[in-house]
Amino acid sequence: MSELPLFHAQGLTKRFGGFVALDSVDFEVGAGERVGLIGPNGSGKSTLVGCASGSLRNDGGAVWFKDRRIDRLLPHQRVRAGLVRSFQLPRPFRGLTVAENLRVPLVFAGRQGRAQDAIDDALEFVGLAARREAMPQDLTQVDLRKLDLARATVAKPQLLFVDEAMAGLSHSEVDEIIALMMRMNERGVAIVMIEHIMRAVTAFSQRLVVLVAGRKIADGDPEQVLANVEVQRAYLGE
Amino acid sequence: MSAFFRFLGLAIIAACALFAAMRAVGNDYVFYAGYTVLEYVVLACAWNILGGYVGYVNFGVAAFLALGAYTGVALGRIAPVPLPVMMLAGGVVAGLVGLGTGYLTLRLRGIFFAIATLALAVVLQTLITNWDFVGGSAGVYAIRPKHVPIFGSYIQYMVFLMLTLAVVVVAVSRAIETSGLGLGFVAIRDDEVAAEATGVPTLRLKLIATALSGAFMGMAGAPLPYYLTFLEPSSAFNLTYAVNSIAMPLIGGTTMWFGPVLGALLLGTAQQVITVTISSEVNLLIVGLLLIGFVVLAPQGLIGLLGLTGKRRSA
Ligand SMILES: Nc1ncnc2c1ncn2[C@@H]1O[C@H](COP(=O)(O)OP(=O)(O)O)[C@@H](O)[C@H]1O
Ligand SMILES: [Mg+2]
């Protein structure tokens, strides 16, 4: 890439007490790119998403998004700038219907008019149109994942971090979510997929980044990364 | 917007009807009892803006009420200020303290925020107790003006002001519910981290809620010295205010304005009746039992039992 990347973290470091969860990690994402982020449990993947999205404060390093240093911005400011995340466990607003859940980013992410159309489009897009009046408690696991993705879509992100959206889903449901994320990407959204299901990661990723114990140990072409000895050891040793 | 003004019109008509009915009874006792009930309508709705909509429990209701009361007392010592001005000033002071409290404590969540508000009440009570200008621990007399135009009696005038304030608080509550602000409040209540990640400026919204909530409590407090005619810290900071202001929304239902209004009208009236027929000591016991019953058996409150909660249900 000759231009500046869309997203760029340099020397990103995060400590919890004395424990170093991220140890000087460099991580970048180009506009419209599909990146897979893998690593054993506890390797710091969600921590990286937290530092990028602002729910966690990094202790060292810097984060840039669209030429702007963002690591002291509040989470909602980063959302408005176009950087959106989803959570490892679905986090719907349980007191709101499916459609009302999508109204929250419509009103607050401030990236488009308040048109009702945006909600309908997003529901149609993820396949939840028939469930628009349902309460989250009545949704299946896969529908909760779709709701999270629809909510992210309404915020009109340029970069989306999707933290393990496929855990606990069936084979065909995983395919559905992959297809959905591919379609989001086709609309121009750069996506970082964090996933343990290797089938999904390899099908989706144009580039693969591997974290182990808070350090980045590989970054590049998915096939080459997966052939990497260190990566194999990290996974076999788990 | 037109729906809002229609609602406001209905609320004003209802308030006028209530006032006319109280006058028709022709007994000042009705106004003394009615004042307390209306005061609780205001306090319950005000508490609910932060506690019900945003989900932050404020145990320091008495602190905000007392701020309004003592702002009035302090003003009255400086110049003969009319009561509505005292109410506005009390609202401003309590609103600012709400804002400050919010700023200092809203990074605390759940029980820690609740404890901080309780601490605020203790600190303020200590300050007021040692501030002789407003009577200190000895208390202060508030002399009601002898002559009250139009209303004839001062208690009727106070009821009129409290009724007006109740209409304002209810209208503001409803406006919040139907606006983007209310949607943001619900998002924070349901999941604050997810709300931030969805673009909700959580700190700003919580500050709006603490300021509004505190301001209305302060406004409700300003007439208190004249209602009691003698104000001392232990009565202004009475824990009963907090207990009732929390119990009424929880029993009525916290998701819409009608919940705290219903809770305050029913519980407030029942308390007035019980105080006369049995004893005021029984009141807190009854409130406590009702509260436990509702929290366990009907967490959506009376409006939930009546099926009035609408689409936005509580978590
Ligand atoms: N809020 C926290 N407080 C303390 N330790 C944490 C916190 N969040 C994560 N950790 C620790 O940091 C490490 C990385 O966690 P995480 O980023 O969630 O890993 P991953 O998502 O790769 O499974 C883990 O050892 C975890 O226990
Ligand atoms: Mg994780």
Domain that holds residue B35: 2-239
Question: How does DSSP assign B215-227, residue by residue?
Answer: HHHHHHHTTHHHH
User: Does B99 map to a domain?
Assistant: yes
User: Does B275 map to a domain?
Assistant: no
For A173-183, the pLDDT digits (tens) are 999 999 999 99
User: Does B294 map to a domain?
Assistant: no
Backbone angles phi, psi at A63, to 5 degrees: -130, 130
Task: Output the pTM of the full model.
Answer: 0.92
CB–CB contact B200 A87 (8 Å): no
Measured by CA distance, the residue closest to atom 12 of ligand 1 is A21
Report residue A214's pLDDT band, with 50, 70 and 90 as the boundaries: very high
Backbone angles phi, psi at A186, to 5 degrees: -60, -25
**CB of A42 sitting under 6 A from ligand 1:** yes
**Chain B: closest CA distance from residue A215 (Å):** 25
Residues with CB under 5 Å of ion ligand 2 are A 45-46, 88
Say yes or no: A68 contacts chain B, CB-CB below 8 A: no
**CB of A126 sitting under 6 A from ligand 1:** no
Say yes or no: A59 contacts chain B, CB-CB below 8 A: no
User: Does B70 map to a domain?
Assistant: yes
Average pLDDT along chain A: 92
Rounded to 5°, the CA angle B158-B162-B166 comes to 170
Q: How far is the CA of B201 from the centre of ligand 2 (A)?
A: 25
User: Does B127 map to a domain?
Assistant: yes
**Structure-block tokens of residue B171:** 């209208």
Nearest residue to A101 (alpha-carbon basis) of B194, B70, B238: B194
User: Does B291 map to a domain?
Assistant: no
CB–CB contact B311 A105 (8 Å): no
Q: Compare A144 and A238 and report the one with higher pLDDT.
A: A144
- C-alpha A125 chain-centroid distance: 18
Can you tell me the ipTM of this complex?
0.92
Report the residue from B189, B197, B203 with minimal CB separation from A95: B189
For A115-162, the pLDDT digits (tens) are 678 899 999 999 999 999 999 999 999 999 999 999 999 999 999 999
Nearest residue to B143 (alpha-carbon basis) of B226, B221, B69: B226
**Chain B: closest CA distance from residue A150 (Å):** 11
Report residue B61's pLDDT band, with 50, 70 and 90 as the boundaries: very high
Report residue A172's pLDDT band, with 50, 70 and 90 as the boundaries: very high
Distance CA A236, CA A225 (A): 15
Distance CA B109, CA B114 (A): 8
For A59-86, the pLDDT digits (tens) are 999 999 998 999 999 999 999 999 999 9
Instruction: Provide the percentage of residues in chain B whose pLDDT is more than 90.
Output: 63
User: Does B29 map to a domain?
Assistant: yes
Q: Compare A111 and A12 and report the one with higher pLDDT.
A: A12
Segment A90-109 shows an average pLDDT of 94
Question: Would the pLDDT of B248 be above 60?
Answer: yes
Segment among A189-203, B35-49, B298-312 with least mean pLDDT: B298-312
**Structure-block tokens of residue A85:** 């995340």
Segment among A5-9, A216-220, A229-233 with least mean pLDDT: A229-233
Rounded to 5°, the CA angle A149-A151-A157 comes to 80
- pLDDT in the model for residue B278: 84
CB–CB contact A95 B314 (8 Å): yes
Cβ within 8 Å of A, B 119-158:
none
Sheet strand arrangement including A83-86: A83-86, A159-163, A190-194, A34-38, A207-212, A215-220
- Specify the 3-state DSSP secondary structure of B86: helix
Question: B301 in the Ramachandran plot: left (φ > 0), alpha (ψ -120 to 50) or beta?
Answer: left
Say yes or no: A136 contacts chain B, CB-CB below 8 A: no
- pLDDT in the model for residue B308: 79
- pLDDT in the model for residue A112: 58
**CB of A40 sitting under 6 A from ligand 1:** no
Question: Would the pLDDT of B146 be above 90?
Answer: no
| Domains in chain B, number | 1
- pLDDT in the model for residue B38: 97
Report residue A191's pLDDT band, with 50, 70 and 90 as the boundaries: very high
User: Which residues on chain B are in Cβ contact (under 8 Å) with A105?
Assistant: 198-199
User: Does B285 map to a domain?
Assistant: no
- Residue B134 DSSP one-character state: G
Report residue B282's pLDDT band, with 50, 70 and 90 as the boundaries: confident
- pLDDT in the model for residue B294: 87
For B151-183, the pLDDT digits (tens) are 888 999 999 999 999 999 999 999 999 999 999
Distance CA A220, CA A231 (A): 12
Report residue A113's pLDDT band, with 50, 70 and 90 as the boundaries: low
- pLDDT in the model for residue A236: 58
**Shortest CA distance from A157: residue in chain B:** B198
Domains and CATH numbers, chain A: 7-86+152-236 (3.40.50.300)
**Chain A: closest CA distance from residue B180 (Å):** 6
- pLDDT in the model for residue B63: 95
Helix (H) or strand (E) holding B132: none
Report the residue from A55, A100, A107 with minimal CB separation from B196: A55
- pLDDT in the model for residue B1: 67
**Shortest CA distance from B180: residue in chain A:** A107
- pLDDT in the model for residue A1: 46
CB–CB contact A93 B187 (8 Å): yes
